[in-house]
Amino acid sequence: MQDGKEKNGMMQKIAQRIGPGIITGASDDEASGILTYLQSGVVMGLSSLWTALFSLPLMYAIQEMCGRIGYITDGGIVKVLRENFSKWFLYPIVIVSLIVVIINIGADLLAMSVVLEHIAPIERVIFIPLVALVIALSFIVFSYERFSNILRWATLSLLFYVAVAFFIRVDWANIVYNTLIPSISFSKETFLLLSAIIGTTISPYLFFWQANEEAEERNKIQEQHPLKRFIITKRSLKVLRRDTLVGMILSNTVMWFILVAGTHIASYGVGHITSFQDAALALEPLLGSWAFAAFGLGIIGTGLLAIPVLAGSVGYMIAELFHWHEGINKKFKEAKGFYLVIIASTLGGVATALLGTNPVGLLITTALLYAIITPILIFLIMIVANNKNIMKGKTNSILSNTLGTITFLVTLTCVVMYLIT
């Protein structure tokens, strides 16, 4: 009995250490990311590997800013922008972000339904709304504490992709070299894939989600100590930064292993991934005829992790835009508008999925659409993160501004090259 209590206590301590930054990093490697990375590995080969290392500090810089903004201001990105910028400037940004996120939800739902369609003799038109219903109800039925724990433990499904690379024959010396030394082929397809990689790793919905989740964490602390004045300490910001860094390292480590798996798919003579059967070839040396089922399990697991984050980010955006009560720590009756937006965005995703035919193409298109709107949001986030009044003196460091500027220029360059090509 005592051993059982000790184990439960240990599990709770581990769960408590997995904060918003880790969940954000894990949800970044959803179906859109997986297919983009695999396609990049197939087309670009080993020269794609450096992107995982290169994007890590850029991802961390922006997500740390977003988390810090949420924790210090006790609000999300949209709330802060609404209070400091013209609404006519803010509305177009929210509308475009909303459309792209709904397309992403639809792409993930389509991907999950295609996998389920192969496993069970039921058509995707049934699976798509069924999966969406389960996810939407999870927001309403579960408490914030339970829902948060579900997301935390769902991150373990990403370890599957790490294990794959150790069961295929690879030249590790060459892989390490290409990871450390960038190599770019100046072609239309390469620039499109690089844009997609940036779009799916540095995704706007993650900006909204992490800022709001850090605000939720702050509210949770205040509820536990209602009589005490909330003080932002160096230690709390240090924990936030560590949590974010661990989340981004997790995300990019998984990304790197998926890119490695993509290079292996090319050895089958596959020039481009056009179906999930092509993508599942990465697992065939290990699992044989079970490769598709295992790949599909990863798609379903990461989809269940990412879709709540996507829909939740939409809920936060709209609720903050119109001054509604919001937060997944609130019950449905306490934040009806927030939850109705989540349900509506999920239904929008269902409509997108039902109209889609090729999940691979839709998933990679989503990554490209993110790349277009990312530079604008990064520019605004940096303005906010450097405002002493908004940030209460906890503004960006020189290193944060340097990395943020590089991220802005990189994403802007990707947009220009994408539009040109």
Report the C-alpha gap between 358 and 8 in whole angstroms. 44
Report the C-alpha gap between 22 and 28 in whole angstroms. 10
Distance of CA 266 to the CA centre of its chain: 26
- The tens digit of pLDDT for each residue in 270-284 reads 778 877 777 777 666
Answer for the pair 10, 174: CB distance below 8 angstroms, yes or no: no
- The tens digit of pLDDT for each residue in 362-402 reads 777 777 778 788 898 999 999 999 999 998 889 899 999 99
Listed residue (138, 103, 102) closest to 344, CA to CA: 102
* Terminal CA-CA length for the chain: 65
Query: Is position 36 within any domain?
Result: yes
In this structure, the number of other CB atoms found within 10 A of the CB of residue 239 comes to 16
Domain count, the chain: 1
Q: What angle do CA 63, 64, 66 make, to 5 degrees?
A: 65
Query: Is position 5 within any domain?
Result: no
Q: Quick check: helix, strand or coil at residue 321?
A: helix
Report the C-alpha gap between 142 and 329 in whole angstroms. 9
- The tens digit of pLDDT for each residue in 39-79 reads 888 888 889 999 999 999 999 999 999 999 988 988 888 88
Query: Is position 69 within any domain?
Result: yes
Report the C-alpha gap between 18 and 16 in whole angstroms. 5
**DSSP letter string over 114-177?**
HHHHHHSSS-HHHHHHHHHHHHHHHHHHS-HHHHHHHHHHHGGGGHHHHHHGGGS---HHHHHH
- CATH code for the domain of 321: 1.20.1740.10
**Quick one: how many helices (H) and strands (E) in the chain?**
20, 0
**Identity of the amino acid at 273:** I
pLDDT the model gives residue 155 = 57
Answer for the pair 14, 236: CB distance below 8 angstroms, yes or no: no
Alpha-helix residue ranges (DSSP H) falling in 322-397: 336-355, 359-385, 388-391
pLDDT the model gives residue 11 = 39
Listed residue (295, 257, 251) closest to 273, CA to CA: 295
SS3 content of the chain, % helix, strand, coil (to 5): 85, 0, 15
Query: Is position 85 within any domain?
Result: yes
Residue numbers of the domain that contains 229: 21-175+185-420
pLDDT the model gives residue 59 = 92
Query: Is position 150 within any domain?
Result: yes
Which backbone phi and psi does 30 adopt, to 5 degrees? -90, -170
Report the C-alpha gap between 56 and 162 in whole angstroms. 17
In this structure, the number of other CB atoms found within 10 A of the CB of residue 200 comes to 29
Q: Which residues contact 109 (CB under 8 A, 6 or more apart)?
A: 128, 131, 132, 303, 307, 349, 350, 352, 353
Query: Is position 15 within any domain?
Result: no
What DSSP character marks residue 328? T
Mean pLDDT, each 10-residue run in order, the chain (421 residues)? 45 47 61 84 90 93 92 87 83 86 87 82 84 79 62 62 74 90 81 84 84 79 65 82 87 89 80 78 67 76 79 87 81 85 90 79 76 87 93 90 94 82 69
Q: Kindly state the helix (H) or strand (E) to which residue 325 belongs, with its residue range.
A: none
Q: Token pair of 90, please?
A: 């803010």
Which backbone phi and psi does 86 adopt, to 5 degrees? -65, 140
Query: Is position 57 within any domain?
Result: yes
Q: Kindly state the helix (H) or strand (E) to which residue 278 belongs, with its residue range.
A: helix 276-279
Query: Is position 66 within any domain?
Result: yes
pLDDT the model gives residue 378 = 93
